[in-house]
Chain A
Amino acid sequence: MAFATIGTKGIEDAAIATADIADNAVTSAKTSGIPVRPNAAPLMINGSMEVAQRGTSTASITGGGFYTADRFGTNNSGAFIGTWTQTQESLSSGDAFNDGFAKSLKMDNTTANGSPAANSQCRIDYNFEGQDLQLLKHGTASAEKTTLSFWIKATKTGTNIVKMYKPDADRSCSIAYTVSTTDTWEYKVLNFPADTSGAVIANDNTTGIQMSFGIAMGSSYTSGTLATTWAADASANAFVGQVNNADSTSNNWEITGVQLEVGEYTSATLPPFQHESFGDNLAKCQRYFVKIETGGSSSLEMAVNKANPNNYSQSRGVYCLAVPMRSGATTTLSGTVKAGYLGGDYSLSDQGFSTVAPTYGSTTDRVNIVSTYMNQSSNNSQNSMIFTLQASSSLSLDAEL
């Protein structure tokens, strides 16, 4: 009797044992739809653009930095190449939304540049740590191919380029894709070849591969021949054919669902995007950036600071991070902190933060202690105080690549 007749409810649990299936009965043709990944979790972090700790919108962007969606940096360098507003968009329709993506990263041109200077460029970068890419085996005879996929919606139709660059080997490879229809979500699958030559990717916490999505480029990056196989990095061969998404203030460029897989796939064979819980995604992002902030009118008590016994106006404490950071972090305070004690608080004449790699052992990428320093302008008699982040204040820790 055929299974279609029996139905799965007609088979008792454990009724079919391994011995009941002939060794040659299950062929690769029958398992071709089952994804077999060498990686347990996605290689990309925040490819769904769900996490945006820094904020959901930044206007007047002319330079580089990290603005909205975590892990995806903006690289505007060289001469002026337009002004941009970057937003984390909430999706409610379209093919990307229908594929399960509720957020995206959008670049909106607000000052156009129809003729970029030769050395100018605008791109979105994602940097992988080298120790997370050892499974690619680049620089060896066993090097793996990779497949990059994503949803893209752009006003400007035509050729766009994604470049992968390996700093350790100073080698790169660029693959073109075409935006066919204006302002319409399109799904792209790009195959990057294996690189058996050059230095291996260093097994450490520095950049192993920098992935760059071209948006607009000057001729220094477009005047050669596109490097569609891995080769010594040459700027002129990096973004050949890239359309100028900066040539009109009507232009938008939007991306989500960014996924990198080990192996060569087509859109028909690519394993599905590995959606993660928001909490898992956030924790992974916090290896690179953490924003400790107060909610509304509340203040946040961060650490117990002990006073210098020789000078009670000075104190020092520690704040432990939930997720160890990649390296020592740059700290930026927005707002104010105070030294709180039973009965009041002191304003500070100075404060400091230090997050450096531990000096013991060989761990240089597990920074999870923030030292907090406070200096009150007037001496006091408190031997311990609470390092308090005041209402509407935040402390950002940045260890991005």
Chain B
Amino acid sequence: MDKIEDIKSVKKCDLLFNPTNTIYKVTDQDNNIMQVPNDLNNRHYKIILAWVADGNTIAEAD
């Protein structure tokens, strides 16, 4: 994932029990899945923020 066009969907990840941090499960256009931390110094998280600013919505966890 290198740019917002690479993102197919983003979903908050349920870290099961007692999660300490939010992470995001990203599916790219090739259906690869990566888990991105809520960290402004992570380049993929910055791309997610740009993707949201472009009008897209992060799905809630199941």
Contact = CB atoms under 8 A, between A and B. Distances in A.
B21 interface: yes
A326 B41 contact: yes
Contacts of B41: 205-206, 326-328, 357, 364-365, 399
- Interface residues of A: mostly helix, strand, loop or mixed? strand
Given A326-B41, A352-B23, A356-B39, A332 B33 contact: yes
A356 B21 contact: yes
A373 interface: yes
Contacts, number: 88
Given A308-B17, A399-B42, A328 B37 contact: yes
A356 B35 contact: no
B21 A354 contact: yes
Nearest to A73: B2
B38 A328 contact: yes
Interface stretch (A215-223, A310-318, A381-389): A310-318
B23 to A, nearest CB: 5
A167 interface: no
A310 B17 contact: yes
Contact of B15 (A64, A331, A373): A373
A355 B37 contact: yes
Interface residues of A, number: 37
Interface in B1-48: 1-3, 6, 13-21, 23, 32-39, 41-45
Contacts of A206: 41
Interface string A308-350: 1011001110000000001111111100000000000000001
A357 B18 CA distance: 17
Contact of A330 (B14, B19, B35): B35
Interface string A38-59: 0000000000000000000000
Given A328-B37, A352-B13, A352-B23, A64 B3 contact: yes
A375 B15 CA distance: 9
Interface string A359-375: 00000110000010111
Contacts of B18: 308, 316
B20 A354 contact: yes
A77 interface: yes
Residue of B15, B41, B45 with most partner-chain A CB within 10 A: B41
Contacts of A33: none
A315 B18 CA distance: 10
Contacts of A400: 43
A315 B43 CA distance: 29
Interface string A233-263: 0000000000000000000000000000000
Nearest to B32: A332
Contacts of A232: none
A314 B18 CA distance: 11
A206 B40 CA distance: 10
A366 to B, nearest CB: 12
A100 interface: no
Contacts of A328: 37-39, 41-42, 45
Nearest to A326: B41
Interface of B: 1-3, 6, 13-21, 23, 32-39, 41-45
9 contacts: A314-B17, A328-B39, A332-B33, A352-B13, A352-B14, A355-B37, A356-B21, A356-B37, A400-B43
Interface of A: 63-65, 77, 205-206, 308, 310-311, 314-316, 326-333, 350, 352-357, 364-365, 371, 373-375, 398-401
